[in-house]
Structure 1
Amino acid sequence: MIFGVMSWAAVEWLFPLSITRAPTTPLPIRVIINQARANAFNLLRGNWLAFTDIGSILLLVAHNPAWLRRLGAFGIAGRMALTNYLLQVMIRDFIFSNYAFGASIAAGYAPLAALGLFGAEVMFSHW
Structure 2
Amino acid sequence: MTERQIYHREKSSSQTADVARQQIASQELWGGPPRNYMGSDIPKVKAYWNRLPLLSDLQTQKSGIEFTTLVEVDSYHPKFAYWSGDREGVRNEDGYAKIKVTINYCNQFDPVYIADEQSNAES
Report the structure, 1 or 2, having the larger helix content. 1
Check whether TM > 0.5.
no
Q: Which has the higher contact order (CA 8 A, sep 6+)?
A: 2
Report the structure, 1 or 2, having the larger strand content. 2
Output the TM-score relative to the length of structure 2: 0.18
Output the TM-score relative to the length of structure 1: 0.17
* The structure with more radius of gyration: 1
